[in-house]
Chains A and B, each alone.
Chain A
Amino acid sequence: KNEVEQSPQNLTAQEGEFITINCSYSVGISALHWLQQHPGGGIVSLFMLSSGKKKHGRLIATINIQEKHSSLHITASHPRDSAVYICAVVGGNQFYFGTGTSLTVIP
């Protein structure tokens, strides 16, 4: 049973395209995170959300608590955005992780 489901698993885009990655969860949460992992690299936090929307540069994250759904959008994608994006939720004292979306942006 997966508490967090992400889609798509893999995504290839041309440079400049608008990208959306989706996350659905089945547990009650106090926070949702979007994480980024570059090949061979550690994991860094992009956003922590508990409601609404956050924007940082070309990245936008939204969450709909009633629908238990979040999206990560990347505008004007660039090859340096190529990475694995992981959705994680915090429910009670536990962290639950999606299996990640592998994004490749082609020049």
Chain B
Amino acid sequence: DVKVTQSSRYLVKRTGEKVFLECVQDMDHENMFWYRQDPGLGLRLIYFSYDVKMKEKGDIPEGYSVSREKKERFSLILESASTNQTSMYLCASSLFNEQFFGPGTRLTVL
């Protein structure tokens, strides 16, 4: 069974804090993705990575950065959290045409 894990299920941070969200997959997938999910907007791609140390911007990269130092780990960084970054964050890894999702992190920025 493919397993994608995320470091926290729920997180509360203050405006201006630096926030790290971590994602780990155990199936040696090359492709990893970070999405945010908001009501009525569906899943929106923030960043993705096709290989170690490689990253590509998605549809909404502003205010975010990522790090992929190891194949199994893909981190999302909010350099200075803002209230409009309150959302559900989902990590996924993929093989060919199929994506496997983590459980999600519900981030609240106060």
> Which A residues are closer than 8 A to B by beta carbons?
9, 30-31, 33, 35, 40-45, 48, 86, 88, 90, 95, 97-100
Does A42 contact B103, Cβ atoms closer than 8 Å?
A: yes
Q: A40-B106, A41-B103, A95-B33 are in contact. List 14 more A-B contacts (CB 8 A).
A: A30-B97, A31-B98, A33-B98, A35-B101, A42-B102, A86-B42, A88-B99, A90-B97, A95-B45, A97-B42, A97-B43, A99-B41, A99-B42, A100-B42
Does A42 contact B90, Cβ atoms closer than 8 Å?
A: yes
Does A48 contact B98, Cβ atoms closer than 8 Å?
A: yes
> Which B residues are closer than 8 A to A by beta carbons?
33, 40-43, 45, 90, 94, 97-104, 106
Q: Could you say which residues of chain A place their CB within 8 Å of the CB of B97? A: 30-31, 48, 90
User: Which are the 10 A-B pairs with shortest beta-carbon distances?
Assistant: A99-B42, A31-B97, A42-B103, A43-B101, A97-B43, A90-B97, A97-B42, A42-B101, A42-B104, A30-B97
Q: Could you say which residues of chain A place their CB within 8 Å of the CB of B90? A: 42-43
Q: Could you say which residues of chain A place their CB within 8 Å of the CB of B40? A: 9, 99
Q: Could you say which residues of chain B place their CB within 8 Å of the CB of A43? A: 90, 101, 104
Does A95 contact B99, Cβ atoms closer than 8 Å?
A: yes
Q: Could you say which residues of chain B place their CB within 8 Å of the CB of A86? A: 42-43
CA distance A39 to B100 in the complex (A): 18
Smallest Cβ-Cβ distance to B45: which chain A residue: A95
Q: Could you say which residues of chain A place their CB within 8 Å of the CB of B101? A: 35, 42-44
CA distance A99 to B43 in the complex (A): 7
Distance of A40 from chain B, by nearest CB (Å): 8
Smallest Cβ-Cβ distance to B41: which chain A residue: A99
Smallest Cβ-Cβ distance to A43: which chain B residue: B101
Sampled A-B contacts (10; CB under 8 Å): A33-B98, A40-B106, A41-B103, A48-B97, A48-B98, A86-B42, A86-B43, A95-B45, A99-B40, A100-B42
